[in-house]
A and B are shown apart, each in its own frame.
Chain A
Amino acid sequence: MNSISSALRRVSRLLKRNQVEGDEAVKVYRLVKEVRLKGGRRLRVLDGVTFKVLKGAKVALVGPSGCGKTTLLKVLSTIYLPDSGEVNVFGMDLVREVGKVRRLISFVSPSLDFHKKLTLNETLKFFAKVQGTDPEPAYRFLDYIKMRGLGDRPLEGFSEGQKAAVRLAIGLMKQPKLLLLDEPTANLDVARKELVIEYLRERMRDMTVIMVDHDPKVVSRLCDQVVLMGSGTVIKSCEAKSLLKSFPFKYQFNIKVYSKSQLSKETLERLGYPYQLTGNVVRFLLSSRDEVKDLTSKLVNKKGILSFEVSMVSMEDVYYWINQQVGVEGAAYPAELVKTSAP
């Protein structure tokens, strides 16, 4: 009797595991990628990267510039071969079954540029042939973001934002099961950025998306999973919501000053809370109501403050913070985030 029940348990465990594996879109295990430099030297860009992505998930690769996000996308899109480790895409080995994998993926890179003398229609037709597909899905997307009418215009007259939209249209053309996006919304105007986010959220629900974007607004609105990277490794892979829950700060306290010179670095550091300076706005991150009260009392007599507001932290704050914590020199954000120890 005992042996029957243990056998049943084993079968149930196996079924459960198979179901989980069947739900996986991407499985990366101990991936190592080295890039060859001048003189034969090798730079390890990815070092033991491990994470999983479920089918239909929208995943953001988050981390400072140079931490290996784009290289990871290039490995997943089969442009680079991994040096070691395992990468499975929809259950297929990325190296051994590369042909099958390529039929399911699409990679949108910001480095893709176009012949400027060709029209949008001519360009889309060419890229449709390269992908062995029909250009119609690209037109549907361009229609959605109000660019369909530009078909006969040469690309030389397109802005960088419009070109970014064309790149995305090309990536969507194949209707891939896995869409890899590298800074897809860079240079897009605010209205088109919204439309792109809406399109990917509403129209591409079944599509698995792995993206790199330096705009925390885009990441927080589009992605439900975050793979946090730093120095070529995965620091954490989790649901975006859980990242917010485990964030050590609850409130953001924004103050607007007349000019940057009104509050010196020393004055801000003396306040004793981590802050971030963007233009003439200082944003403090605080973990309790007491800290809010404390900071308010410290600032109340300070000169040069135009206004202040307190609100709950958002995913954007989390991403800003993460980038600072795992950051290296030259982090991608314009904001100047200065760390001070919490009181």
Chain B
Amino acid sequence: MFRALNVMLASMKRFLKLDLKYRFELGVDALLLVANIVSFGILGHFVVSSNAELVNYPYYVFLLAGILYWTMIASGFNSGIIALREEAERGTIGFLLSNGVSPAVITLSRMMVSTLEALGISAAIALPAIYLLSGGAYPKPPSSPICLLEAAVAIALPWLFMASIAIALTAIQLMFKRIGGLAGAVHYALGVASGLYFPVQAVPLAGKILEGIPTTIGMSAMRELIVYGRIKALSLSSMLTPFTPAWSLLVTPLVALALSAAILLKIERLTMRWGTIEQY
């Protein structure tokens, strides 16, 4: 376990160094985020001007806070899965395996680096954008240091949930080698289900189920922090009360992580048996 963490840190360092050497790509990523913010800002203003009351605060704040959160949580998802294939084509997988390190380390370390970069870029772009568009009304300053801790939990646990899905997709990729747009489709579907574009409460029937997804809970917590300066639903006591959204935020990522790790181990072994693990 310690070895795997050590390798993950080394791998993160390597990805970070590489990203800094491809500055044009970093610039393009930042520009894409700006384009997202502009388009969602315009969409939000359109909804506000059409007097549709989906939330009790400006809709562009809803959208931009969602974009900020989703960028932090999910931007590393696709790159983590792509990185595994790239490394496999470089022959790194065999080397990792013969040294007792799972290929999932590549996916996770790539995800972490992309998340750190996204944190920096999105905080530098999205938060000032919300501030400027709302004329300084948002984001509200956090009401207490506990809020920041709760925000960290609202980011970390859903990230872990996304990581567990990435591990499961890594396993599928180890088996089938090329998975087409599956990672992108999962990424998009989770974004919609998490309430990136509209409040999930507005969805008939499925709304209640969607509210239990860790990324939905995290996204709504981030919006609360930006709009009210506090997070209502994420106290420690609520996390320990079974079947509440906060409890789901804690339990679902852990269960998903255990399940995906078990799937990965099984498929790793199976493909080692088939002699196809590093054949891409």
Residues of A at under 8 Å CB distance from B? 33-36, 45, 71, 74, 77-81, 83, 98-99, 102-103, 105-107, 109, 111-115, 117-118, 122, 125-127, 129-132, 170
Contact = CB atoms under 8 A, between A and B. Distances in A.
Contacts of B11: 126
A115 B18 contact: yes
B272 A111 contact: no
B91 A113 contact: yes
Contacts of B276: 35-36
Q: Which 8 A-B pairs have the closest CB atoms?
A: A129-B10, A35-B275, A111-B91, A36-B274, A112-B91, A113-B90, A117-B21, A77-B98
Interface residues of B, number: 32
B100 interface: yes
Given A79-B94, A80-B272, A107-B94, A131 B17 contact: no
Given A125-B10, A132-B99, 19 more contacts: A34-B275, A36-B274, A36-B275, A36-B276, A71-B275, A79-B272, A98-B100, A99-B100, A102-B98, A103-B100, A109-B94, A113-B89, A115-B18, A117-B22, A126-B11, A127-B95, A130-B96, A131-B99, A170-B95
Interface of B: 3, 6-7, 9-11, 13-14, 17-18, 21-22, 89-92, 94-101, 269, 272-278
Nearest to B86: A115
Given A78-B98, A102-B99, A112-B91, A132 B18 contact: no
A118 B15 CA distance: 10
Contacts of A35: 274-276
A78 B95 CA distance: 10
A126 B275 contact: no
Contacts of B275: 33-36, 45, 71, 74, 80
Give the secondary structure class of A's interface: mixed
B280 to A, nearest CB: 10
14 contacts: A77-B94, A79-B97, A79-B278, A107-B98, A112-B90, A113-B90, A113-B91, A117-B18, A118-B14, A126-B14, A130-B10, A130-B101, A132-B3, A132-B99
Contacts of B99: 102, 130-132
A147 B119 CA distance: 40
A305 B226 CA distance: 90
B100 A109 contact: no
Contacts of A80: 272-273, 275, 277
Nearest to B277: A79
Contacts of B91: 109, 111-113
A170 B7 CA distance: 15
Contacts of B98: 77-79, 102, 105-107
Nearest to A99: B100
Nearest to B20: A117
A107 B17 CA distance: 26
A112 B277 contact: no
A130 B95 contact: yes
A66 B144 CA distance: 67
A74 to B, nearest CB: 7
A112 B97 contact: no
Contact of A102 (B89, B100, B273, B278): B100
A83 B274 CA distance: 9
A125 to B, nearest CB: 7
A265 to B, nearest CB: 40
A129 B94 contact: no
Given A112-B90, A114-B90, A132 B14 contact: no
B106 to A, nearest CB: 11
Contacts of A113: 89-91
Nearest to A36: B274
A82 to B, nearest CB: 9
Nearest to B22: A117
A326 to B, nearest CB: 22
Nearest to B279: A35
B273 A81 contact: yes
Nearest to A154: B21
A112 B272 contact: no
B272 A118 contact: no
- Considering residues A71, A80, A126, which has the most beta carbons from chain B within 10 angstroms of its beta carbon? A80
